Amino acid sequence: MKPNTNANDIKPARTVAIMMAITVIGKLLGVLRERMQANEFGEATAEAIAFAQASFLPRSILDVMFAAAFSASFIPVFTMYMETKGKRAAFDLAALFISVVVVLTAGVAIVLIILARPVFIFSIGSDDVPYGTVFLGVSLLRYMLPLMVLSGLAFSFTGMLQSLGEFRIPAAMSTVSNAIILVYYFFFIDRFGIYGLAIAFLIGWGAQGIIQIPFLVKHKFRFRFRLDLKDPGLRQIGKLALPVMVSTWIVPINIAVNVRAVAGVGIAAIHFANTLFMIISGVFILSVTNVIFPKLSRHAANKDSAGFSDTVNGTLRVLLFLLLPLALGMMALSEQLVDLILGGGHFGYADVQITGMILSYFAIGVIGFGLFALLSRTCYAMMDGRTPVFAAVAAIVANAVLSFTLAPNMGVAGPALANAISQTLGAGILVVALTRKGILKWSVSTIGDIAKMIIIAFVMFWAVYVGLRQMTDMHVVLQVGISAAIGGVVYLGLAALVRIKEMNWVLKIILRK
């Protein structure tokens, strides 16, 4: 995604823009879903703690054990097959891969259903949790563990469609699942309660896979169950999968460690803040990296080193241009955002304050989170799993040490700050490694533009902060809306004034569109 205006660059940029628009709809529904959950159960109630942890565990276990294989290790090998062996061979590999995913996720889910109680108690990190909370959490966890199988199928289908150049339907997955959950909140929560909500989550995740099937059929994909563990393509995926799995452990393991570090206090607040962080940052980060990853894989398969390096460097600049104001904006408006999105019902002022504080510390790690997502995928496209593993392990260790060190004095803010520092550390290691390999190139103009981005982002932060202090008597909707408008005008205006390339590139794309 090199920052010029030729046709080859406009096309992926338009795809990113479309994905962002679709993703925003899904994220807005996700925000409404979180608001409904917060209003219904609050932050510190037994229902809030039990459901937050029971819904988090299957997704985090899936992330830790399999999610990397669904995308980061599958897409490069699948793309290589498409480029060198043809569509039929690639589809045969995909069918084998999906078969293995179903068997593995189902097996793990069954084991965890049997061990649900010790798993739930261990994840809470405290022996003082009331029996009723534990009983409810264990029951909900058993209901929701099949989510692993449904998620495995959905992400496998997503990897195939993205490799085939279809990004819109995968981007719409969260829209469908969140819409189903919201229908439950609006019409059925009073009748079927929290157990029905767990079933609604399962139905929503199942729908994520179902909506992708017609588009796979359109590409003439036919699934045939088979297990051949000696298949060379599957072995290539497996060889890359283990190191890739480790390198994607940062988010789920860091959150699990953060929860244990607070020992039962503020568990739901950490989950709420992390969900909002992922929703807000995911619009930009996932929209860009999901489009770029298959492109990087094609460059690598065709041994186009110049195109590969140009794509990485251009995308890194675009991400920094987007994420610097996002990080500082979230820090400035963290409490107002939480109040706007989650405030009301059982989610009171104290809940808003603690969740907002955690979100502000998480926001420090936005740049690290985004760069790690891009640069780890850069390594995967080159079939390099070792470098991201080293970066991930360093980040996880740093988070664990800092979480338990800072928690006694800073409370829930300590683990949140530790999380942000660890994300930044992991990204920094990848930046150094890829610079040494010659993939990242730091010209004088690039360094100068990044310095300009940082300066104008801080000017924007100051403008938002000062403006917000004048709006304390306004409704929170106006506070967030006006502050966001001020920040956007200041940042984009200054970016145009100092002639940052990404600003001109974005404007020309919009005008041409």
The lowest-confidence range among 213-227, 264-278, 380-394, 435-449 is 264-278
The answer to whether 234 and 228 have CB atoms below 8 angstroms apart is yes
Tell me, what's the pLDDT at 394? 93
Give, to the nearest 10 degrees, the angle between helix 305-342 and helix 349-363. 170
Q: What is the mean pLDDT of residues 451-461?
A: 94
**3-state secondary structure labels for all residues of 417-451:** HHHHHHHHHHHHHHHHHHHHCCCCCCCHHHHHHHH
Question: Tokens 């300066």 identify what position?
Answer: 455
Model confidence pLDDT, tens digit, residues 259-294:
878 765 677 788 788 888 887 887 778 777 777 777
- Percent of the chain exceeding pLDDT 70 equals 86
User: What are the counts of helices (DSSP H) followed by strands (DSSP E) for the chain?
Assistant: 23, 0
Tell me, what's the pLDDT at 116? 79
DSSP assignment letter at 345? T
In 416-429, which positions are buried (b, 16+ CB within 10 angstroms) versus exposed (e)?
bbbbbbbbbbbbbb
The answer to whether 19 and 291 have CB atoms below 8 angstroms apart is yes
What's the rounded Cα separation, in Å, for the pair 263 and 425?
25
In 166-203, which positions are buried (b, 16+ CB within 10 angstroms) versus exposed (e)?
bbebbbbbbbbbbbbbbebbeeebeeeebeebbebbbe
Alpha helix (H) residue ranges in 232-365: 232-247, 250-262, 267-301, 305-342, 349-363
The lowest-confidence range among 94-108, 356-370, 389-403, 466-480 is 466-480
The lowest-confidence range among 254-263, 341-350, 405-414 is 341-350
Residues in the chain: 513
Q: What is the mean pLDDT of residues 207-220?
A: 88
Q: Residue 300: which residues within 8 A CB-CB, separation 6 or more?
A: 76, 308, 381, 382, 383
| 59 or 125: which leads in pLDDT | 59
Distance of CA 232 to the CA centre of its chain: 31
pTM of this prediction?
0.72
Tell me, what's the pLDDT at 7? 38
The answer to whether 468 and 339 have CB atoms below 8 angstroms apart is no
**pLDDT(397) > 90:** yes
Return the number of other C-beta atoms located less than 10 Å from residue 151's C-beta.
Answer: 23
What's the rounded Cα separation, in Å, for the pair 151 and 212?
13
**pLDDT(494) > 60:** yes
DSSP assignment letter at 347? B
What's the rounded Cα separation, in Å, for the pair 474 and 340?
12
**pLDDT(62) > 80:** no
Return the number of other C-beta atoms located less than 10 Å from residue 21's C-beta.
Answer: 13
Range of 165-169, 236-240, 425-429, 502-506 with top mean pLDDT? 425-429
The lowest-confidence range among 73-82, 117-126, 485-494, 504-513 is 504-513
DSSP string, 39-74: HHHTTTSHHHHHHHHHHHHHHHHHIIIIIHHHHTTH
**What confidence tier does 339 reach under pLDDT thresholds 50, 70, 90?**
confident
**pLDDT(136) > 60:** yes
Q: Which long-range contacts (CB under 8 A, 24 or more apart) does 497-505 make?
A: 498/452, 498/456, 500/321, 500/449, 500/452, 500/453, 501/3, 501/317, 501/449, 502/3, 502/317, 502/318, 502/321, 502/449, 503/321, 505/3, 505/4, 505/5, 505/9, 505/13
Q: What is the mean pLDDT of residues 283-312?
A: 81
What's the rounded Cα separation, in Å, for the pair 364 and 420?
6
Tell me, what's the pLDDT at 141? 84
The lowest-confidence range among 82-96, 195-209, 255-269 is 255-269
Tell me, what's the pLDDT at 65? 60
Tell me, what's the pLDDT at 298? 81
**pLDDT(18) > 90:** no
DSSP helix/strand/coil, 220: coil
Burial class (CB in 10 A: 0-12, 13-18, 19+), 507: middle
**What confidence tier does 363 reach under pLDDT thresholds 50, 70, 90?**
very high
Tell me, what's the pLDDT at 429? 95
Return the number of other C-beta atoms located less than 10 Å from residue 447's C-beta.
Answer: 10
Distance of CA 407 to the CA centre of its chain: 25
Q: Extract the tokens encoding 445.
A: 């103009």
Burial class (CB in 10 A: 0-12, 13-18, 19+), 486: middle
Tell me, what's the pLDDT at 5? 40
Q: What is the mean pLDDT of residues 325-336?
A: 90
The answer to whether 266 and 354 have CB atoms below 8 angstroms apart is yes
Return the number of other C-beta atoms located less than 10 Å from residue 268's C-beta.
Answer: 26
Mean pLDDT, the chain, whole residue set: 81
114 to 110, 146, 416: CA distances (angstroms): 7, 13, 32
Phi then psi for residue 365, to 5 deg, are -90, 10
Question: Tokens 């106006």 identify what position?
Answer: 478
The lowest-confidence range among 286-295, 311-320, 441-450 is 286-295
The answer to whether 428 and 376 have CB atoms below 8 angstroms apart is no
**pLDDT(166) > 90:** no
| 503 or 273: which leads in pLDDT | 273
DSSP assignment letter at 302? T
**pLDDT(461) > 50:** yes
Q: Residue 58: which residues within 8 A CB-CB, separation 6 or more?
A: 109, 112, 141, 144, 145, 147, 148, 151
